[in-house]
Amino acid sequence: MFCEDGIYTLWGSKPLTMIAVEQYTDQEKQAFFDLLTEDEKKNCQFCADYSLDKTWFQWEKIQHRFPLNRFMFFKMDQFQEEHVFFILLVDILKTAAVIQDNYDAFRKVIGTDFHPLELVINMKEKDAVIWKKINGNAHIWGLLFGFGKTNSYLFQWQHFDHPESCNDFCRNIDTFLSEDSVKGYMKYTINNFSIPAFKSFNVIDPVIDNFRTEKNRIKEIYKGNDFLDLTLKKLTE
């Protein structure tokens, strides 16, 4: 919820969160770390006490005890790599609303009319049309991740979709990170977590301001509550 920003899908405005779960042995991780330069080692980020690669499969065995209505939380069969699998946390209504608000953009990519709510509910299916159509489209992914309409299509233009005559301009656009990158080991708690990281094109960005407001509100929500109990209660509401 903290390391991957899922907390903002659970309580905030982020429609969905995709979590890449790496499956490497301790020996493979150490071998990779040993290949880094000294500067890279200093700046290498690790989440302390992060065990989703081990505990996800335990969750799959007991998740039937926690029926979900508003949310979907599932392992994606559509995107798999040798050492990585992906988990998706989806707020169904928020995601459908974002798709509805940007219907023309989604229809252009998908190629046919659809109902936003049905499109979202079918995301769990292995042959879901949305995953076949939007892969590689930074604009659409940015909308789904909650990075804002302007940031999403400007990122698409800057990196993937602009005329050759705009190369110099796009190469020199000033951009801003929504959050300073974390370096070294990071132990996340309800009092120590970040807002989602994305590229912004405005010094004053209402999307960033909104996430910061949500961060403070989430801290207040959990004050005096057991994190696991309250999270499960919200997830299964």
Within-domain flag for 219: yes
Residue at 41 is within a domain: yes
Phi, psi values for residue 43, rounded to 5°: -100, 5
The phi and psi torsions of 75 (rounded to 5 degrees) equal -80, 130
| Nearest C-alpha neighbor of 59 from the set 234, 237, 232 | 232
**What residue numbers bound the domain in which 138 lies?**
6-235
Kindly state whether residue 1 falls inside one of the protein's structural domains: no
Residue 207 included in any domain: yes
Longest dimension (CA), the chain: 57
Amino acid symbol at 49: D
Q: Is residue 111 assigned to a domain?
A: yes
Give the pTM: 0.87
**Does residue 64 lie in a domain region?**
yes
Q: Please give the tally of structural domains in the chain.
A: 1
- Rg of the chain on CA atoms, in Å: 19
pLDDT at 55: 87
Q: What is the pLDDT along the chain (237 residues), one digit of tens a residue?
A: 988 899 999 999 999 999 988 877 677 777 777 777 777 666 666 666 667 878 898 999 999 999 999 999 999 877 666 778 899 999 999 999 999 999 999 999 999 999 999 999 999 988 888 988 987 899 999 999 999 999 999 889 888 888 889 888 888 888 888 887 666 566 788 988 999 999 999 888 999 999 999 999 999 999 999 999 999 999 998
In a domain, 37, yes or no: yes
> Residue 86: inside a domain, yes or no?
yes
Helix H or strand E encompassing 176: strand 176-177
Q: How far is CA 45 from CA 5, 83, 214, in A?
A: 16, 19, 24
